[in-house]
Chain A
Amino acid sequence: MQDGSVNDLLQASKIQDWDPSAMLNNLSFLGQKIHQLQDLVYLIIGRKGQVLGRPDELLVQQQQLVTADLTSIIVQLISTAGSLLPSVKQTLSAATTSLGQCGEFGGVVFPSSAQGLNDGVQPQNAGGSKVSEPPNSVDITSNNGNEQSNHIIEEHELKDEEDAEEGENLLPGTYEILQLEKEEILAPHTHFCTICGKGFKRDANLRMHMRGHGDEYKTPGALAKPTKESSSEPTIIKRYSCPYAGCKRNKDHKKFQPLKTILCVKNHYKRTHCDKSYICSRCNTKKFSVIADLKTHEKHCGKDKWLCSCGTTFSRKDKLFGHITLFQGHTPAIPSDEIKAAPAGTSDGATNKVGSVNFNLSYVSSESEVQSSSMDIKGGIDDAVGYFSPLSFDTCNFGGFHEFPRPPFDDSESSFAFLLSRSCNYSQKSGEE
């Protein structure tokens, strides 16, 4: 381990602004800790023999103490070594960029269009030099003034961007960094005809277009996907940098994370550094800068209907049910539009029925001297008077029905009067079973 870091040390020492004393400090701390660790392990070996011979409770306790000690030392060791690592890495990357001209790492070729060659490399060296300070201070001593405002954007970007390659650990310098200009990124077309200048979104479309310019573009070779030919050669991995200064995706950023494809660059740039001009027409709240994002959102907009009693919404029912399973006492909330719908649906039926039945009841209960309750019901009937009209036979005159002897159901009141004649009996006889 020490050998490796010494190698790094040797390489890195060529850089002027690098501070070797801090590194040495760290390394000597590591060395100390390793010695401590060694002592402890010796101790444990000695103890183990005793324990095996005479298992004593006290000894067991001591052993536990030693183990705890050991664990804490290991933790310290790892954390120090870990904190050393980024500085080494950074210095390494700084070294490679500066060594690029010497031809040691042939892969570093900046696109000719990128003017960042001039204003990109120099500050990077400056940034890299500062990294050699103790690692915990790096974040605080950030170089650019606009960095702080960018922090917010970066956090948002990490959440938002699906193509954030966190798993990828390409060593700096093993790939070619390309940086497109803002205009290029925002241009609707990326492939231009060299003859007539017409722009296309896709290279395939350009190739199709080129057929019109002569027979030499009609050969299978000219029409084939250009990348396929080059696949046989050892390709240089291309990665992209965002032109926005201070952005984490910008190659000058000290924690630079490159973007994988041009599409990633475009989406990233639009999402993080452009206005969100597309507004969802359904919810009128969500804004997007990439049309595809809007379309994805619109597919699900308004479908967040799975609501828990705690207020959390879910786009999927199974997610809601999983949530309810987990949390004691949470229940699914019934959508509020149903609340409005349900009474509306029943208001014709149920409340009217209330009226009619109440009337019935009021009759019986008033007979049984429950005056106050009958009063209550009367109030209920008043509301439902309109609905009673179809029942009152006076209002509907059917031809030929006038001469009928008035039957007992003539109107509602006499209908119940008819009921009265036996209602008293029924209350005792068949009112119950």
Chain B
Amino acid sequence: MLSFQSSKNVLSLTEDLLVRIYELLAAESDRKSFRLVCREFRRIDSLTRRHLRVIRIEFLPILLRKYPRLQSLDLSACPRIDDGVVSLLLTRVGPGSNSPSLGHWAWGLKSLVLSRATGLRFSGLEMLTRACPCLESVDVSYCCGFGDREAAALSSAVGLRELNMDKCLQLTDVGLAKIAVGCSKLEKLSLKWCMEITDLGIDLLCKKCVDLKYLDVSYLKVTNESLHSIASLLKLEVLGLMACPLIDDVGLQFIERGCPSLKVIDVSRCEGVSSSGLIYVVRGHRNLLELNAGYCLSELSTALLHQMKNLNHLEVIRIDGARISETSFQVISANCKSLVEIGLSKCVGVTNMGIMRLVSACINLRVLNLTCCHSITDTAISAIAYSCRSLVCLKVESCNMITEKGLCQLGSFCLLLEEIDLTDCCGVNDKGLEYLSRCSELSCLKLGLCTNISNKGLSYIGSNCLKIHELDLYRCTGIGDDGLEALSNGCKKLRKLNLSYCNAVSDRGLAYIGRLEELSDLEMRALHKITGVGLEAVAVGCKKLADLDMKHCEKVGDSGFWALAYYSKNLRQINLSYCGISDMALCMVMGNLSRLQEAKLVHLSNSTVEGVELALRACCARIKKVKLFAPLRFMLSSEILEILHARGCIIRWD
């Protein structure tokens, strides 16, 4: 009776109030609970929802009918989408039907994510762009087969402002020209790894799309000519030139004189760029916010440092791999007071004194990368902790001299710390973890190769760091089932876990893992103690499991794989190499897991050629990438290999 009344009270709320309540729900899980309350709530959900990320393509038509007011649709998790599906989705239902027409969903759509939709081709894209008149943002990154025809299809979306074409490998200048001419309102364009693009295409782009604010041409074989064209873009704010091998200091000279609005530039890994090139950039752009020059400088020269004095607004600087002196740190800290992030990964000459000088003035630092700065000790960590109270991310991989003292300071002062990488820091022990666990905001903790930590240390984390979603325990041989128990009790939000080579973990430990409902990535290579029982517990418990690596788990038997085949319906990637899976179980796993895209099936001791063949036949419609034992190349029927090839599946022979 009481429950009835309360529900009646809730129902008496007007629609707009419900919408407001709904909009306050930030977490997706909360929204799910909300829409499961009753029909009315569900209706609110469907009317208010603007963004949808679809995981299973089978439900796409229903979902699209349910949410007619979508503005943003993310299909990146459905690589099986192809032209046929698109035409089906856009087909209007006849007038006799009382259901709303299917095509409606496309009218208001502004953003479309089709990343990795390798099945899609230009005809499907053309249908989509024609059906979505309001389209402003499209992401077709990693659609490796995309080329000029697809670009031509996209170019019919005249209102397009943002376009991501990373790794559209077939795209040439012709396709780029199509887009440049068709989508002249373009503000953001990313062309990473579009290796066929040349200076001609970039030049045309810069002439036709003058509103560009963001341009990423990383990894392209463009030359200084392109920089000359880019320099004419008056509104450009962000320029990505990462690993462009043909760009050098002369090209950066153009940037000095052009791009008056430039805020962010990334020239990392550009072989031809030296400090004099950076001097040009810095001299021309006093208001630079971000300078990424990782692995392109051999040394932070005094001349460059002298120019950097003027960068008073600089927030981010990365000079990974450069030689840096203690006095340089003083110059930086004295002039770049608004620095938020500094990347010094693999820098030579980073000392305690240098870091202390840096943090003495740069108290706003939030992200600090000291990876492989081996001479860093607790003194530097203490100074960082004391000065930079708002530190969010600290990477000190392979800094062996860090001990519990440093972690103690971090745990005392840096209470906002969310991410810390302590991989290969053998000075980290249980006591250190106890101090660190005071950072209750911690969400990402990497402890790989920290052999001195044990279950006790992990239990501190498990009881205090409840927000952790990524934990790396690679080769933490001191970790056993008890540690995992503590973890599973506290860290319910854990999404990514690496347990590889933690030999002490047994089925009992995996049973605890099975309690982590949010877990999506699990790497557990070479756990020799676990059997099918443990795997079953994981499969049953971790409903969201998408990526499972269980290479060298030789003792796992078929019962575990059967369970996997039945329960882990969201599995996308699996590594079963060196596992004792039988033909039967292999077919089950490969045939039944309808979301599976990538499988590594090398050295399967208990399966036969026929078993692998059958398994491949069972999954050939959806598998995108498979790794097989090389001799199988001549043993498998040519028919199945042809089918796989025809469906765009990449086979790696090992």
Contact = CB atoms under 8 A, between A and B. Distances in A.
B122 A356 contact: no
B178 A346 contact: no
Contacts of A68: none
A419 B58 CA distance: 11
Interface in B586-622: 587-588, 591-592, 594, 610, 613-614, 617-618, 620-621
Nearest to B639: A390
A331 B200 contact: no
Contacts, number: 186
B299 interface: no
B82 interface: yes
A401 interface: yes
B12 interface: no
A373 B588 contact: no
Interface string A371-386: 0110011001000000
Interface in A409-433: 409, 415, 418-419, 422-423, 426-433
A317 B583 CA distance: 55
B36 interface: yes
Interface in B610-645: 610, 613-614, 617-618, 620-621, 639-640, 643
B84 interface: yes
B354 to A, nearest CB: 44
Contacts of A369: 99
A361 B88 contact: yes
Given A332-B174, A332-B177, A390-B617, A432 B55 contact: yes
Interface string B156-182: 000000000000000001110110011
Interface in A389-416: 390-391, 393, 396, 398-401, 404, 407-409, 415
A431 B621 contact: no
A34 to B, nearest CB: 51
Contact of B569 (A329, A370, A426): A426
Given A390-B640, A400-B610, A433-B53, A358 B200 contact: no
Interface in A342-385: 342, 346, 348-358, 360-361, 363-365, 368-370, 372-373, 376-377, 380
B38 interface: no
Interface stretch (B89-97, B134-142, B272-280): B89-97
Contact of B610 (A380, A393, A398, A426): A398
A422 B569 contact: yes
Contact of A350 (B55, B82, B152): B82
B50 to A, nearest CB: 13
B519 to A, nearest CB: 14
A324 interface: yes
| In the complex, the 3 A-B pairs of residues with the closest C-beta atoms, listed nearest first | A354-B84, A409-B591, A348-B646
Interface of A: 317-318, 321, 324-325, 329-332, 334, 338-339, 342, 346, 348-358, 360-361, 363-365, 368-370, 372-373, 376-377, 380, 387, 390-391, 393, 396, 398-401, 404, 407-409, 415, 418-419, 422-423, 426-433
Interface of B: 28, 32, 36, 52-63, 77, 80-85, 88, 91, 93-94, 96-97, 99, 102, 119, 121-122, 148-149, 152, 155, 173-175, 177-178, 181-182, 200-201, 203-204, 207-208, 543-544, 569-570, 583-584, 587-588, 591-592, 594, 610, 613-614, 617-618, 620-621, 639-640, 643, 646-648
Given A350-B84, A353-B82, A430-B543, 15 more contacts: A331-B155, A334-B148, A334-B175, A338-B149, A353-B621, A357-B85, A370-B99, A390-B620, A391-B620, A396-B617, A398-B610, A427-B59, A429-B543, A431-B58, A431-B62
21 contacts: A324-B204, A325-B203, A330-B181, A331-B155, A331-B181, A332-B173, A334-B149, A334-B152, A346-B121, A350-B121, A354-B82, A357-B57, A357-B85, A358-B88, A365-B61, A365-B62, A368-B61, A370-B61, A377-B88, A407-B592, A429-B32
